Structure 1
Amino acid sequence: MEINKQRIVTDYKTHLNERLINIQEDMRRLREAAGINADDNMSENYESNKQEMLNEMSDLQTHFEFLEESAALFNRIDYGSDFDEVLPGALVVTDTHVFLVGMSGEFLSDGKKIHGISTSAPIYAQMKNKKQGESFSVNGRTYQVREVY
């Protein structure tokens, strides 16, 4: 399998930015909908609809703040270097998965699923400092490290 770490990192950044934009758009639509419903005070369901929208906006705001923090963390991690052991910023190719260390969430790069993993994830604790040829186990599953970038 051909790996282009820089392309994968760029694709993750694009993925993260798209998620931020989508949440902003969802919040904008909810604010507009709340404005339309506010004019319809005669509706029996007005208060419950208003509360539902407020709850949804709060959830979206919380998710947006999490993604903003993720973006800030992303910018602090050195993804530009190649690594010979698993550390934050490494791209790890195993026998079954490709992991990008430092960010959580799955995304696609050149049609290949990449698994972003946080340094606080249990799987990272098991793979930390592993080198090419070594293996690690999580939840009864063993992974063989084929390459580290």
Structure 2
Amino acid sequence: MKETVTKGLRKQLIEACLAKQRLLVADFRARMRTLTEAEGLGNEESFESADVARRSANVDEINTLNSQLEFALQELSVLEQLQTTEQVERRSAALGAIVVTDLTTFFISTSIEQFQVDGTTYIGISTQSPIFKQMENKKKGDSFRFHEKCM
């Protein structure tokens, strides 16, 4: 594990993650709005079985989306809290750390798909992820194993 980063880089990473997370939240909200408006949920004028089944499926999808939205909002909150500590140096793998390995570079924050900052690809991982559990508290120069790979 290697970590040599500037504090400005951490700020850029947080901003990139915030942008992705805000877009995800907006997408969930837009899909929920579309479903509720298109189906007129709460306005049960038609009781034909096909209409009722479609509405039921939409209610299930809305409930699923709502759960996903709540999780996305929690992760957004974590990222917003990270902004307040962006200048704090991390000496080990912990929330807010940038972990550089021979295989990839991780940003310990929230689960974020691959993203790029200044031409470098990063993967956002949460402190709940299995890979984080393997690297937790490791310091620069330490190694860890994940899926039979030494990092």
TM-score range, shorter chain: 0.7 to 0.9
1:106 to 92, 95, 113: 113
2:137 to 129, 136, 140: 129
1:16–1:71 contact (8 Å) kept in structure 2: yes
How far residue 123 of structure 1 moved from its aligned partner, in angstroms, is 1.4
Alignment size in residue pairs:
142
Do structure 1's residue 73 and structure 2's residue 81 form an aligned pair?
Answer: no
Q: Give the AA of the match of 2:131.
A: I
1:15–1:107 contact (8 Å) kept in structure 2: no
Do structure 1's residue 62 and structure 2's residue 70 form an aligned pair?
Answer: no
How far residue 44 of structure 1 moved from its aligned partner, in angstroms, is 4.3
Bigger share in strand = 1
Deviations 1:22-47 (A, max 9, x none): 111001100111118x5762654101
For 2:22, the equivalent position in structure 1 comes to 17
Q: Give the AA of the match of 1:95.
A: D
Q: Which runs of 5+ in 2 are unaligned?
A: none
91-100 vs 42-51, which moves further: 42-51
58-67 vs 91-100, which moves further: 91-100
The 1:130–1:42 alpha-carbon spacing in structure 2 relative to 1, beyond 3 Å, is closer
Runs of 4+ aligned structure 1 residues displaced above 6 Å come to none
Counterpart-to-counterpart distance in 1, 2:99 and 2:86: 12
What RMSD over aligned residues (CA atoms) do the two structures have, in Å?
A: 2.4
2:94–2:136 contact (8 Å) kept in structure 1: yes
The 1:112–1:22 alpha-carbon spacing in structure 2 relative to 1, beyond 3 Å, is farther
Q: Normalization by structure 1: what TM-score?
A: 0.83
1:50 to 51, 55, 58: 55
For 1:120, the equivalent position in structure 2 comes to 128
2:46 to 41, 47, 52: 41
For 1:29, the equivalent position in structure 2 comes to 34
Deviations 1:45-92 (A, max 9, x none): 101100010000001100011111112222233333232221111111
For 2:100, the equivalent position in structure 1 comes to 93
2:14–2:79 contact (8 Å) kept in structure 1: no
| DSSP 3-state at the match of 2:40 | helix
Counterpart-to-counterpart distance in 2, 1:125 and 1:42: 51
Q: Give the AA of the match of 2:149.
A: R
